[in-house]
Amino acid sequence: MKARLPQGYGGGGGGNMQQLARQAQKMQEAMETATAELEQKEYSASAGGGAVKVVVTGKLEVKSIDIDPEVIDPDDAEMLADLVMAATNEALRAANQDKEETMGALSGGLNIPGLF
């Protein structure tokens, strides 16, 4: 007895694989382009009502930190460190969120580990 495959399965398998490979290559090219564009972007955040401002790049590198001289208190360096950390973390979150949204839109919601 011979097993029968449902209609649409079998036969043209090679063509379907080629089409899938072309689609995967297009998606990879689009993701590489998007990654390059994201790396050029800058994300900024502030803390303490604007007393500390941080700018990071899409490569997740700190580009600049601006501190209002009025918040520099030699007796309370911990507070200044907290403000810098808060602003930096918020800017990094914004960069990561933008990357996830952009890549998610390109991949159609696929979650492939190690892809991005």
| CATH architecture entry for 33-97 | 2-Layer Sandwich (3.30)
pLDDT digits (tens, 9 = 90+) for 48-95: 999 999 999 999 999 999 999 998 999 999 999 999 999 999 999 999
pTM for this model (two decimals)? 0.69
* CB-based contact 103:34 (threshold 8 Å): yes
Calculate Rg over the CA atoms of the chain.
Answer: 24
Per-residue pLDDT for 97 more than 60? yes
Residue 112 has pLDDT above 70, yes or no: no
Q: Can you give the pLDDT at residue 30?
A: 87
**Cross-sheet strand order for the sheet of 62-67:** 42-47, 52-57, 62-67
